[in-house]
Each structure stands twice: as structure tokens, then as C-alpha cells.
Amino acid sequence: MPSLDGAVVLVTGANGGIGTHFVHDALARGAAKVYATARSPRAWDDERVRREALVDRVEVRDLHQLAVAAVELKLRAA
């Protein structure tokens, strides 16, 4: 697996299933911050995880909307 050292990662659907796995995997691979998005963000026990409610305004099947959300989050992370 490639390293994510210092990366900022956006995970949609992070409250359960594969989304939760992606959050844990990104942290294990060295991500500096993980934006764990969901309709109702849950609590996480790692300070690198930022809880964000984006799904109510972002259609995750629309790549343009996801790209805009990723830019917004990257600006917040700076």
C-alpha cells in the first residue's frame, strides 16, 4: 500500500461499512487529516479525524461536486 504521510483525505459515507474502514486505513497509512463525511457525523477517537456534514449538500455520484467539496476542505485544512 502506498504511504499517505502528511496527506489530507476525504472519506464519504464514513459512518459505517467500507467508509469507516477507509478512515481507519488512511490513518494507519499516515494521513495528517481525514475528513470523515456523512449525513450525521459521528464521534471519532483520533484527533486527526475531522467530522464534516457534507452529504446533504454534495451528491457523491457527481465528480464535479466532489471536486468542489475537496477543494473547500483542502482550504480549511491549510
pLDDT of residue 77: 67
pLDDT (tens digit, 9 = 90+) per residue, 24-74? 999 999 999 888 877 777 788 888 887 665 544 667 788 888 888 778 777
The answer to whether 46 touches 31, Cβ cutoff 8 Å, is no
Which class for 72: exposed (0-12), middle (13-18), buried (19 or more C-beta within 10 A)?
middle
Those residues whose C-beta lies under 8 Å from the C-beta of residue 31, and which sit 6 or more positions away, are: 4, 5, 6, 7, 8, 9, 48
